[in-house]
Amino acid sequence: MTTPTRITPPAPGDAARQEPGRQGPVRRAVGLVLAERVPLLAVLLVAVVGYFYVLGQQGYLVAPYDSDYLFAALDTLVPLCLLAFAELVVIVSGRGGIDLSVGSIVSLSGMAFGFMVGLWHWPVLIALVVTVAVGAVLGAVNGLLVAYLGFPALIATLATYYAFGALALLSHNNAPISTKPIQDVHSLTRTVSLPLGDQVPDVPLQVLTFLIPVAVLMWLLANRTAYGRRLYAIGTNDIAARFANIAVRRTRFLAYVLSGLLSGLAAVVTVAQFASARPDAGSVGNGMALPAITIAVLGGVAIIGGVGRVVGVILAGLLVVWLNAGILLAFEGSDGSQFQLFALGALLVLSALLNAYSLRRGRGAG
Amino acid sequence: MAVLTETLIARRRRPVARAVEGQELALILVLAAMWVLLSLSTDTFLSSDNLSNLLYSVAPVALIGVGMTAVIVTGGIDVSVGSSAAVVMVVVAKAIRDSGLALLPALGLGLVIGLALGLVNGVLVAYGGIHPIIVTFGTLNLYRFLALRLFENKQVTGVPDTFDVLGGGKDGETLGIPNAWLLTMVLAALMWCYMRYWATGRHWYALGNDAAAARLAGIRVKRRVIAAYALTGIFVGLAGCVLIGSGGLVQQNAGSGLELRVIAAVVIGGTSILGGRGSVLGTLLGALLVGTVTSAITLLGWRSELIELFIGVFILIAVGVDLVRERRRRRAR
Amino acid sequence: MTSTYDLDRADPAAAGTQVLRLTGVRKRYGGVQALRGVDFDLLRGEVHAIVGENGAGKSTLIKIISGAEVADQGEIEIDGQQLAAGSTTSALGAGIATVYQEPQLFGELTVAENVFIGRELRSRGVVDRSTQRARVLELLDRIGLNRELADVRVADLPVAEQQLVSIAKALSQDPRILILDEPSAILTDREIETMFSAVRALRDSGVAVIYISHRLDELGQITDRVTVLRDGSVVASRPTAQLSVRDVAELMVGHTVDTGAIERTVADAEPALRVSGLTRLPKFQNVDFSIRPGEILALYGLIGSGAADVARALFGIDPADAGTIAVDGRDVVLSTPADAVGNGISMLPANRKVQGVFGPKSIAFNISSGHLRLLSKWGVWVDRGREKSIATDFIRRIAIKAPGPSTAVNNLSGGNQQKVVLARQLVERPRILLLEEPTQGVDVGAKDEIHRIILELADSGSAVLVISSDLPEVQQLADRILVVRGGAITAEFGRGARQADLLAAAAGDTGDSPEVSSATDGSSA
């Protein structure tokens, strides 16, 4: 129901677009930061870290904002980033893709892990694999609803958010599993020192064992694999994808499976971190889906689909985590956690505004 | 084709069918069936105490849902309503406690705050060119921050019973029905009329159908969008006052999770998340359904976690049925 | 907006008076002279057809009349008064309403609501529902739509009725002049009669109707006068009764210069593709044809003829209900694009923006997206080096004007975008290539280049099926031409067929005897 006449004369200016005129390097850099998300995030990251570092040096902070602290703060990044990757995948897949149920999948598969390790005394590694599989299966339910049955993603994952959350609570009578084997798993999240000398601070183990490998794999998936291509293709234009002989439904289905899989992984990390499999792990505060989606969007993932970079998500995650870490030191008591909310909300709205503005101004018209 | 035309005309003629769409009819039947079942299987479901509790607890969700229906019909969404409800509640509760504000001015205060918060959303969506889900995720955080700052790290205690008339107690009832629910029904009826008979109300549907065509047809799209979010804000203000109700305590996590319950009610009620379709009556029914499930599970002595399980299942059934119906409609053309 | 319904502007008693007059209208579009001094006049109470080939200037003329475009030179007069150019609002105010091919309606709203949406009648601020409803019912009566449909949801209506609602909507603006742009394009033969009755009723009530259509056979049934445009000029403007379909076709096409007829020989061999009894109701039925390797077969038909649907059935997008398809002699079932691709069939879709390109992505991405398995090691790892070199290769081979393979396709011109989508089809030389409107919206230079590529492809042994409504293209490319009309193949031509013959056949001229019918007495054919 759009363009009226079918036959249109060649539009004026139909010739290939002109190359942008030569601008000064400063102007171009500014333009780049405004237009591209990754450079903007990098700049903001440096600004934030620099700002808090200076504050710390001048004694305004409760504790020093140094590299030790920053590295230690990475422990909150791991589950967040994993879930943000999950959101990246489904949002990129297009057609209003989103996953509100990641928190509930974390809760439910976390309980599964709790059962396996805490009550049935399975070896941790096997339990881990099975937990991830459980997450994938839960994600497959979403995938079935969205890709094959045609439910809007918001609806399907809202429903599974409720259903999976309820199942998690029901699984163990609303009680966490914190038996000895579970508490032993906590060692998976201990801080370790890197054999890179004294200058390099200790880092939480899960960063090395979970975050970095997954980040690398995600990057490879998105940028180097055929599946990644298909994912971005269906997110950009799933009709053209069909004509290009891409299996649209299967690709979309797998996106949700992947999201569930990553959530399962995040579940294991969460259980280890808290030394307890909690049935409400995914619904603390506003739920885990919210910060995950926020980080994804902050990282440049476009809600319309087809756009989103793994590097952007990582940078956004770092920005949020280190900003939050700084805020915690700068404010007393619970003021800190409150200002974190402000920072998150403001970052989200401002970056989206910036994006919309630069789209309208330069690149959209060109 | 003549046969089809006749079918269409015949379908339109039935007055009941005109006012009430298919989905809503189904919901009424399901609700009625549930209520019958529950009155048979428990002694207390149909008791006036239980029913008025149910209606009182459903009222805030339904109230906000009325506004949210308009927002979703325009193709948008608002996930910040829980946080804005919290802001309204803390400000108004403190006002009536510390400044002794009377009912009407306090109500007015709540409405104004809700309106302001809703306007922010509306303006960002209409003029900022940002997708509503992102805007309202952002304001969700910002408003929650605002609320927590206003709480000053402790819950608000000793809130007087200024809003008793809207509360859950005996003073809040008229003929056994909570005033909050009566208010909700009246407002819902007004909104229903507005969305059905007023030009600007119909414009929401047009804009949800095809925003570009709506603009071409002369509809003031930006204004309509802002109106939908602003109206939702006003309803949030009202709902906040209802939640304060008989006073006492306002907790810091007030309104948490409210937005999802509202969206669930709207969606179960038959409003399409894609926009262009839906009605306030459906939202009321959806909210009632969720409330009934909650009450039923409690009374039947089942695990309370089952409530959320049922909500999830109901969402799928309601939307699934709607999907099938739309597909069949399209094929019949 | 008027709040009283006044019939002054469309007055049956004033029939025959001139309501619109264009003099010496010229318009240039970025290097192309779209209109070269067009004179045109329109009378009240007449249905006046404007016909012409793609690019003849029809749409430009209409845009100028409706205010969407400004003429470079020339005058437009409505009832003797100058019309302010380039403003759709003033055109609307002067009483010019347009109904486009795609009904711009809101599916979820009722018929009555759609008619006045955005322009609701108000008296002192409040919507005047009763007056509005009365007006809607009057309008429905006027065009012959059942009154009872006023409260039906538009999305529930069949396409023909939706079109009538569009017409009612245009009518509600109380026009002197109603422009109907290809009204029959999306209608089946049966539905067209409904639309005709509405148009006749309008004409009888004094409205002047401009009727744009490719379907020349309709002209005799509904129009009073025909104006033929060719290359931006009016070549004839006569009463319909004086012209046969063939006459009009000849006028539209003119004396075509021989473009250096291409000599092609096609080896006699087993057909690469053989189709028999292919049916998908209501789009097409009992279609039979075959294509030999190296042969270019064209299915030529107007929009809505069903030709495009045949292609989509052969690619598994909208599979056929009945009939057989044989590839290289083997019967195959093509129910998904994967089936088609598996049998060596590739397709270039018609609407590149919606169906073809991944706009924000690079040329390399676009080209490789159809061949990910081929370009991946172990089917998983994309070989980017190879992808890049293939893209670079194509950029060179088919002259895609772009800085490099990583240029975003959105930054290319229409013709170059089309080349990118075409390149996607050519990565693995397809056994059978289906092309739907391969040069739609493409500039002349790119058009020739794309034709060259298609010919080369055929020379290398592929069987090519071209679906096109572009006459010169069909003439230039095809070894054989099958004319499609109403979902069936109605004629076959070989190389060297005259454009006028093709056009006439596609438009419905079935025999040699001229079709003369008078439409002025309102009788239907």
Would you list the DSSP string of B209-260?
H-HHHHHHTT--HHHHHHHHHHHHHHHHHHHHHHHHTT-EEE-TTTTTTHHH
In which residue are the tokens 């096609």 written?
C266
pTM over 0.90: no
In this predicted structure, what is the pLDDT of residue C54?
A: 73
Q: CB A16 to CB C58 under 8 A?
A: no
In this predicted structure, what is the pLDDT of residue C187?
A: 77
Q: Do domains C14-95+176-256 and C260-344+430-497 have the same CATH topology?
A: yes
SS3 C160: helix
Q: CB A344 to CB B316 under 8 A?
A: no
Q: What residue type is assigned to position C34 of the chain?
A: A
d(CA A120, CA A24): 66
d(CA B294, CA B317): 17
In this predicted structure, what is the pLDDT of residue B100?
A: 86
In this predicted structure, what is the pLDDT of residue B332?
A: 64
SS3 content of chain A, % helix, strand, coil (to 5): 70, 0, 30
For the stretch C324-339, pLDDT in tens is 999 998 999 999 999 9
In this predicted structure, what is the pLDDT of residue C515?
A: 37
Half-sphere exposure of A366 (CA within 13 A, CB side): 12
CATH architecture, domain C260-344+430-497 = 3-Layer(aba) Sandwich (3.40)
Least confident among A166-175, B1-10, C234-243, C515-524: C515-524
pLDDT exceeds cutoff 80 at C185: no
pLDDT exceeds cutoff 50 at C146: yes
Token pair listed for B144 = 């929650």
- Confidence bin at C232 (pLDDT 50/70/90): confident
Q: What residue type is assigned to position A312 of the chain?
A: G
The class level of CATH for B26-332 reads mainly alpha
Asked if C318 reaches chain B (Cβ–Cβ under 8 Å), the answer is no
In this predicted structure, what is the pLDDT of residue C247?
A: 85
**C8, C10, C16, C21: CA torsion to nearest 10:** 100
- Contacting C residues, span 201-240, partner chain B, CB-CB under 8 Å: none
Token pair listed for C359 = 């706009």
Host H or E run for residue C38:
strand C32-43
For the stretch C33-77, pLDDT in tens is 888 989 999 998 899 999 988 778 888 888 888 888 888 888 888
In this predicted structure, what is the pLDDT of residue C446?
A: 82
For the stretch C255-279, pLDDT in tens is 655 555 677 888 888 889 999 999 9
d(CA B283, CA B269): 5
Q: CB B209 to CB C127 under 8 A?
A: no
In this predicted structure, what is the pLDDT of residue C282?
A: 79
- Contacting A residues, span 279-308, partner chain B, CB-CB under 8 Å: 286, 290, 293-294, 297, 303-304
pLDDT exceeds cutoff 60 at A361: yes
- Confidence bin at A240 (pLDDT 50/70/90): very high
Token pair listed for A166 = 């309820």
Q: Where are the domains of chain C?
A: 14-95+176-256, 103-174, 260-344+430-497, 363-428
* Beta partners for residue C81, in sequence order: C78
C402 φ, ψ to 5°?
Answer: -155, 150
Token pair listed for B73 = 């019909």
pLDDT exceeds cutoff 80 at C240: yes
Highest mean pLDDT among B75-84, B155-164, C133-142, C446-455: B75-84
In this predicted structure, what is the pLDDT of residue C12?
A: 63
* Beta partners for residue B69, in sequence order: none
d(CA C192, CA C196): 6
| C141 Cβ contact list (under 8 Å, min separation 6) | C147
Residues B68/B204, Cβ–Cβ less than 8 Å: no
Nearest to B319 among A151, A162, A297 (CB): A151
Nearest to C261 by CA among C500, C477, C501, C499: C477
Token pair listed for C126 = 């409040």
The secondary structure of B259-299, three-state, reads HHHHHHHHHHCCCCCCCCCCCHHHHHHHHHHHHHHHHHHHH
> Residue C438, Cα to own-chain centre: how many angstroms?
14
Least confident among B273-287, C6-20, C338-352: C6-20
- Confidence bin at A6 (pLDDT 50/70/90): very low
Q: Which residues, given as ranges, of chain B have pLDDT below 50?
A: 1, 13-18
For residue C277, is it left (φ>0), alpha (ψ between -120 and 50) or beta? Answer: left
Nearest to B190 by CA among B238, B156, B155, B242: B238
Nearest to A225 among C365, C381, C443 (CB): C381
pLDDT exceeds cutoff 60 at A9: no
* Mutation for B interface: C106, C119, C127, most B CBs within 10 A: C106
Mean pLDDT value across chain A: 86
As a whole number, mean pLDDT of residues C173-191 equals 82
Residues B319/B282, Cβ–Cβ less than 8 Å: no
Q: What residue type is assigned to position C8 of the chain?
A: D
In this predicted structure, what is the pLDDT of residue A64?
A: 84
As a whole number, mean pLDDT of residues A23-48 equals 82
Asked if C146 reaches chain B (Cβ–Cβ under 8 Å), the answer is yes
* Mutation for C interface: A245, A246, A304, A307, most C CBs within 10 A: A245
In this predicted structure, what is the pLDDT of residue C14?
A: 65
In this predicted structure, what is the pLDDT of residue C513?
A: 37
Asked if C119 reaches chain B (Cβ–Cβ under 8 Å), the answer is yes
- Contacting B residues, span 233-292, partner chain A, CB-CB under 8 Å: 256, 260, 263-264, 267, 273-274
In this predicted structure, what is the pLDDT of residue B271?
A: 93
Task: Please give the full DSSP string across B53-111, using - where no structure is assigned.
Answer: HHHHHHHHHHHHHHHHHHHHHTT---TTHHHHHHHHHHHHHHHHHHS---HHHHHHHHH
Token pair listed for C298 = 């064209």
A138 or A29: whose pLDDT is higher? A138
d(CA C183, CA C100): 7
Nearest to C297 by CA among C511, C454, C498, C504: C454
Query: Looking at chain C, which subunits does it touch, using at least 3 CB pairs closer than 8 Å as the criterion?
Result: A, B
> Residue B129, Cα to own-chain centre: how many angstroms?
25
Q: Where are the domains of chain B?
A: 26-332
Q: CB B1 to CB C108 under 8 A?
A: no
- Contacting B residues, span 194-213, partner chain C, CB-CB under 8 Å: 197-199, 202-203, 205-206, 208-210, 213
d(CA B160, CA B97): 6
* Beta partners for residue B64, in sequence order: none
d(CA A295, CA B154): 29
Other beta carbons within 10 angstroms of residue A250's beta carbon come to 15
**How distant, in Å, are the alpha carbons of B154, B159, C517 from that of B252?**
7, 14, 83
SS3 C521: coil
Nearest to A267 by CA among A177, A148, A147: A177
CATH number of C14-95+176-256: 3.40.50.300
* B148 interaction partners in chain A (CB closer than 8 Å): 334, 338, 341
> How many Å lie between the alpha carbon of B5 and the closest alpha carbon of chain C?
8
The percentage of residues in chain A with a pLDDT greater than 70, rounded to a whole number, is 91
For the stretch C85-119, pLDDT in tens is 777 777 777 888 888 877 789 988 888 889 988 88
Q: CB A155 to CB B267 under 8 A?
A: yes
pLDDT exceeds cutoff 60 at C176: yes
In this predicted structure, what is the pLDDT of residue B21?
A: 67
Least confident among A359-363, C199-203, C328-332, C443-447: A359-363
Residues A65/A52, Cβ–Cβ less than 8 Å: yes
Pairing relationship of beta strands C488-494 and C480-485 according to DSSP bridges? antiparallel
Asked if C129 reaches chain B (Cβ–Cβ under 8 Å), the answer is yes
d(CA A227, CA A170): 36
* Beta partners for residue C322, in sequence order: C279
Mean pLDDT value across chain C: 84
Can you list the domains of chain A with their CATH numbers? 41-54+65-190+210-357 (1.10.3470)
As a whole number, mean pLDDT of residues C357-378 equals 91
